[in-house]
Structure 1
């Protein structure tokens, strides 16, 4: 069987980048990629310092959540698998505990599409999933439901999840979401942020997907 060393190294580097970018602290948060053959996912192991993870430690998990090799996977392995099973377009998942993402998640409120970047990158506003205990099937179900066809979701009183066609795409979305939520918090402090019209959101999302950079 292939050892998926390339995928393991990519996730390790992305984990260090997430930590050093302030998108999480300690060993919290988790990242994964779906393997190109669609048979497995490579996910960060449970409770291991991002700076100390080696390819041999990385958890290789099949689509039935069985550990194939490596250390015990992140407690949120079921959440990652739930997304992959429901979204064929998603091949990378990043779960963060960044400051503004956690701040808004603690309110349990949905975030309207108040910035062009949110419309383009996320596909509209950002919903907050109903609360579920960390690592629980309930949390995984709630996450998948609230994410729907968008690229980011908040987990009530917990953090955020961003998805992408690959790890680079998911990381870009993660950064855009954190900056957007910082702007949203500041705008709320000043008054009431004004949401974009649905037609404008649809136009910008379509432009980003089909015309931007082409």
Structure 2
């Protein structure tokens, strides 16, 4: 197995991971990304490496059955979570997990009530974020909980006391959702201190929702 197989895709994964870190959406050791590259294989970021300096040679290749095809590389401890999502959501190819601070706060209050009715972009890009119950990091239960949480076709999940996960047809789509959910979470905080809000009414929300059907 040649390490640089899927070099273009590996570079994309590494670039998005660096971007997430540099934008303050995760910590040096936190977060992980996966990208489906064919029917049975996907790329995934490693464990215990600096997310701010990660490069394409550090991106591992795995099978959906769990085999590591990159000798010398240690895939993320959350690889099982990524495998589970990719196996059960055939409509998407990219998974992004990060720890944006405002959105992650909502994971600690057992709520997915990040408002998506304040900006049309948030509604269009995110839909309604869902809540995934707590499971220990790196365990099969984490993936099982997310599988259930995302079973209705959702694209954004808040992992209780953990962080945020987004999925998409492309890496850019999943990354966009991480950015937008953090903005929406911050605006939700800000809305608590606003004297008067003017959220999107039901007609406008339904119009936006219809754009995704």
Compared CA separation, residues 197 and 79, structure 1 to 2 (3 A): farther
Deviation at 1:195, TM superposition (A): 7.6
Compared CA separation, residues 193 and 171, structure 1 to 2 (3 A): same
2:156 maps to 152
- Normalising by structure 2, we get a TM-score of 0.88
Deviations 1:50-78 (A, max 9, x none): 24433332111101111111511111111
Deviation at 1:145, TM superposition (A): 1.4
Alignment gaps of 5+ in structure 1: none
Q: CA RMSD in A?
A: 2.3
Tell whether the 8 Å contact from 1:114 to 1:184 is kept in structure 2 after alignment.
no
Compared CA separation, residues 49 and 202, structure 1 to 2 (3 A): same
Compared CA separation, residues 17 and 199, structure 1 to 2 (3 A): same
Give SS of 1:61's match.
strand
1:22 maps to 24
How many residues are matched? 207
Tell whether the 8 Å contact from 2:22 to 2:52 is kept in structure 1 after alignment.
no
Compared CA separation, residues 44 and 152, structure 1 to 2 (3 A): same
Compared CA separation, residues 51 and 191, structure 1 to 2 (3 A): same
1:178 maps to 182
Alignment gaps of 5+ in structure 2: none
Deviation at 1:85, TM superposition (A): 1.2
Compared CA separation, residues 189 and 130, structure 1 to 2 (3 A): farther
